[in-house]
Amino acid sequence: MDCRALCLSLLDYKTEKYVVAKNRKVGLLYRLLQLGVLLYLLIWVFLVKKGYQDVDTSLQTAVVTKVKGVAYTNTSELGVRLWDATDYVIPPQGENVFFIITNLIVTPHQRQGTCAENEQIPDGQCSQDSDCPAGMPVKAGNGVKTGRCLRAGNSTHGTCEIFAWCPVETKSMPRKPLLGDAEDFTVYIKNFIRFPKFNFSKTNVDTDKTLLKSCHFGPTNLYCPIFHVGSVVRWAGSTFEDIALEGGVIGIHIEWDCDLDQPGSECNPHYSFSRLDHKFTKSISSGYNFRFAKYYRDAAGMEFRTLIKAYGIRFDVLVNGRAGKFNIVPTVINLASGVALMGAAAFVCDLVLIYIIKKREFYREKKFEKVRGREDRALEAEDQVQGQEESGQESPASGLMELPRTLTLRSSSQDGGFQGNGSVCRQVLESDRWGSCSGPIPPQQHPISASTLGADCKVEAALAGLLTASSPA
């Protein structure tokens, strides 16, 4: 029987019980919260974030760069010289990171031999030969110590002799950029992108070749990939004289944000420029520089080189993007999330209703209904009767034992208890309404007066138990 009842209960449908609270303040709060959730769903999720789209962020990209321009210099180390892209661009084949020389320190005709270390190197300073152990490299220096301390005249301090490319670099940085003409150089940046999920490809170069020969990039020329170096530096928030003297790093950001529900022509690149090195921090390592050398051989076959310490601008081309297209799956997911958030409004209003407002006790009683089973009521009645007997008081229900035996109760076949409105006292006094009695009991034959029953009605549950126990089988 229990197994059958369990199986049948699986087909039951359970619904919630709602309590309508006539409270305008809480009702207004509830509607405002619902309106807020609805606006969040429509404006932020669907209009701003395009929550109805499937998104691809796995952007495949390639960058090709070329620099054009010439610079003229006349120095004692190099003489008269013309610089083109082959001389001042490193690496020569442009990639997404390239470097343009704007200033340099040249140390020509270096040959391997022995010479004095730079006196500004702390580990190269000495006062006697023991300060220069042979074979030990100079820390942060230019060569290996030979064991001799070179002193000028009668000076007590000198520098260690080293085996290195001599003469060592001693000159300081020029006060003005050597390649000041680099401000007018142009950079050609070609960018290819592809979103593999949607098989969509595009480039930032206009198909009109004649336009590329004369155009320059600007807010109205997004598909002209030719950038003026001086303009890029200004867009990054710096001045060319400042960055060209000590060097620096500039980021060129290309952002592709494509809504593929629109035509492909609406997918356009967005550019931004920023200074990436610590331009506001003045330290010994501020700016950007590195060293390289060019090697030669003289008529006797002896090797020598020209050492160049280059300062300049490093350009980092950073590409990222996303593409979106309508898909039913994210649309349904975001709609379901919005509907779930509607339940949060009811939760907040419940908290306000039963915990915060002044009438919270009243609303709490209406919302939470306490129901007890028949077994709990019978146990409570027995406890009340037993307590009264132990205290020596007459049980309010003792007179009921004298009721005629003709008064029989017929229990319900469903619940085994009383039928009616649940008031035992009222059922005894108005026996004509008590459907389980064998017949009406005249008031003069009833051993308990109405006043007595009225006083004893405080223990209705106890009377119900006693009457049920006194009924004949």
- pLDDT per position as a tens digit, 39-94: 999 999 999 999 999 999 999 999 999 999 999 888 887 888 899 988 889 887 77
Question: What percentage of the chain has pLDDT greater than the value 90?
Answer: 48
Inter-residue contact 308 to 291 (CB < 8 Å): yes
pLDDT the model gives residue 175: 83
pLDDT the model gives residue 36: 92
d(CA 11, CA 57): 47
The tens digit of pLDDT for each residue in 434-472 reads 444 444 445 444 444 444 444 444 445 454 555 454 444
Q: CB neighbours (10 Å) of residue 382?
A: 13
Helix (H) or strand (E) holding 28: helix 24-39
Report, as an integer, the average pLDDT of 284-312: 89
Stated pTM of the model: 0.67
Inter-residue contact 240 to 178 (CB < 8 Å): no
d(CA 55, CA 286): 41
Inter-residue contact 74 to 81 (CB < 8 Å): yes
Token couple for 408: 């029989």
Q: Is the pLDDT of residue 401 over 50?
A: no
- At a CB cut-off of 8 Å and minimum separation 6, what does 282 contact? none
Position with higher pLDDT, 386 vs 352: 352
CATH topology of domain 60-117+168-324: atp-gated p2x4 ion channel fold (2.60.490)
d(CA 27, CA 215): 63
Q: 281 burial class (0-12, 13-18, 19+ CB within 10 angstroms)?
A: exposed
Q: What is the DSSP letter of 115?
A: E
d(CA 441, CA 428): 9
| CATH number among 3.90.660, 1.10.1760, 1.10.287, 3.40.1130, domain 22-52+327-367 | 1.10.287
d(CA 457, CA 57): 77
Position with higher pLDDT, 225 vs 154: 225
Counting runs of H as helices and runs of E as strands, what totals does the chain give?
12, 16
Q: For 26, phi and psi rounded to 5 degrees?
A: -65, -35
Strands 186-195 and 144-150: unpaired
Domain ranges of the chain: 22-52+327-367, 60-117+168-324, 399-470
Token couple for 301: 């076959």
